[in-house]
Structure 1
Amino acid sequence: MSTLAELLFSDGFQISGSDIKASAPTRALAEKGVSIHIGHDETGVEQADIVVMTAAVHEDNPEIKIARKMNIPVIKRAELLGQLMRFFYGIGIAGTHGKTTVTAMVGWMLHRERMNSIVAVGGEFVDHIPLLPEGETRFFVAEADEYDRSFLRMHPCLSVVTSIEPEHLECYGSYEILENQFVEFANRTPFFGRQIVCIDSPGIKKLIPRLQGPLTTYGLSDKADIQGIIKGDRKFEVRQQGRRLGDARILLPGTHNLLNSLATISIGLELGVEFYAITNALNQFRGVKRRLELRSRLDMNLGRKKVRDLLLVDDYAHHPTEVKAGLTALSSTYRRRIVLIFQPHLYSRTQQFSKEFAKSFLAADIAIISKIFPAREKPIPGISGEMLAELSQEMGHQNVYFAEDFDQIMTLLEEVALKNDIIVTMGAGDINQIIDRLEGKR
């Protein structure tokens, strides 16, 4: 939302905005002269010509209620994003997993090549780049979120789909409907554009016969148009329709990040960027915050003991596939004992994927499960973090615990953490606050 606000503000629109708490984006906007109000109430809305709301805001929000009462148009962020993208060469990046990282990778690559682009991404770069560059801008790179069918409001020239799995079924009702919406998103690509999809994703592979128009596939499969061949830790060879382009090396761990890099290479080649320039950019890309972000490497006092050389990692994973991929990447890269602190996100998602979550915890040496972060939902009877811990125990995990609150998590860490451990927080809520607490004990 902050990128869109800054874009409109730079074009001369009078912008005001509110959020429930201050953050780096709200402070940055305020420094530029945008009127920012912390908290939600009815003041300030009456002067607006239009109100833009995110998918996380509900109709009972006081600002939305007063706007409706005064007949001020209210649109969702995705609709504004789609309208603004029409003025540029749009690149929309969708998928159950990986879309934030790929969007950031593409933004980073274009920045390095001085190909001015607006970047609307649902995460913060580890190494800052201007998301709204100065001067003439041709490209608009945006994360296309499937939640609430938001991505169907976009009109990109390049439509990218990284993966398709069951997710947000509370919005769609069934996986089949979700699949249909991804197909619709891809098939909205104009005849002069291109669809770029990951053939390694089973959910995408089955839908490829339904895709219309120019298509590029990428993946580790030998059927991929842009194929990656693993040659070592974070190093891979790239072939285009069987022809060797060269080798690439990335800083980010995990096969999933190799696939994210192949998506970026596919996009770069389509935009006319030289292969060596793409790979040079990828080799210097340090990622997005809260995506397997290495927060600290430190010694700390936990209880009565001094624990040395701990790695503190934070990740946004809130789907079992993401949890497993992240833990596997950490294990293969660092070869240390892994202590997972997982915060389930949404009662409905926990209910739908309870067995898958419980199984994913087996990839951690020790797992601590917190209460569910409810976000927009009300509790579902019988669905809890404790239930996930018990399920994982039933599957054979010998070291999985449930914690009632953050204080109990810290107490458990005092008991279980050892020298050289990786402590990784995972979840889309506020579980990263545990890392903040741990860093305070150095």
Structure 2
Amino acid sequence: MSDQVTPSRRRFILGGIGLAAFAGLGIAKPNDIGENHNHYFNQLSLALDNKALSKPNLVIDKNLLIDNIKVLKTHLAGRFDYRIVAKSLPSIPLLRLIMEQSQTNKLMLFHQPFLNQVAQALPDSDVLLGKPMPVTAAANFYRLYAANQTPEFDHETQLQWLIDSPERLNQYQALAHSLKVKMRINIELDVGFHRGGVADDLIFEKMLKQIDSDPALSFAGLMGYEPHVAKVPGRKIALRDAAMQSYRDKLAIALRVSGKSADELTLNSAGSPTYQYYDEGDYPHNEVAAGSCLVKPSDFDLDTLSDHVAAAFIATPVLKVMQETQIPGVDGLGRLMSFWNPNRSKTFYTYGGNWKANPISPKGLSINPVWGHSTNQEMLNGSDNIQLKVDDWIFLRPTQSEFVFLQFGNISLYEAGKITASWPVLSEQVG
């Protein structure tokens, strides 16, 4: 027999040493935190069962979503226009509901296939690209726009392309001339995030003059994204003020060169983590963009969003229930783990897994650190207090929405104890 220590055996040995070390250091054993579903998740489970759903579902609670929209509107208080970030809410019916509830037609899009679908399905929308796209993506948009015959959406008045450099401006200018179209240009500014955008005043002024001198182009506004205000260490208000001063300086140049007033321009800033930093005061932008705060995945559990609530969940069926935890190839490790931590006493295998999400109900479920993740049948451990049965539902809370929402097919809309709709998500394959 080989004397080689296998990776599994090594994990077992290290696990045993780790438990002994914790005990030796006087670290307290974890408390049993297992609980069964509360009333909310019991009702949601019943709604899923009544709809005869049997696979992993992305569920949005309509009433909680609307509550979040009301919170957002209360903070904006008519001081800023609202632009919906569609990548965080990638479904036409979902966007339509939010547009109606928030009374805005302004969308921010980040993906060419989504842009073509929005132009067809939401022809009254006012669209600003949220990132600078390869010029080929722009060419693909125009090709599909012509093929789909969507004249209700007027790209020359309802669409703003985001430009971040002189080189990209040259590319788009050449495309506008080759296609004989007019393009509205919004310039991305670097206001401190340092993920691209224009920072140099001379370069910025030269770009503005280039746009102004070409009838195929028109200057439509500025975008100054500043998520660093919420994310990096430091005084948040000082970071905000520095970003806004940079924005003001560029806006002054833009108004002088273009001859336009601020009211004629789209002056975009903020995002879900930062929009509440502008509740009071005078700022250069006239609109804010946000999306994730309306469904509040866990990455957005921030002080600035404490009055928003989670409104989206992954629901997945339990495939198997085991009254103990066993780790293959390392007999005894599961018992050792459950002896130390009562929240590893039982094992539940789910339909699918390894999503950008964390278990939320029943309380006390967690990934086994030795077993790891599985996209086919995820192992979750819990305490003896959790009485889940096969075919019951486990709920997870996404850490983000823009990627996770696209993984489940249709979105299940939950309202007043029932699943009331099944909404398709945007396709990534158009074009």
TM-score (norm 1): 0.29
TM-score (norm 2): 0.29
Structure number with the bigger relative contact order (C-alpha 8 A, sep ≥ 6) is 2
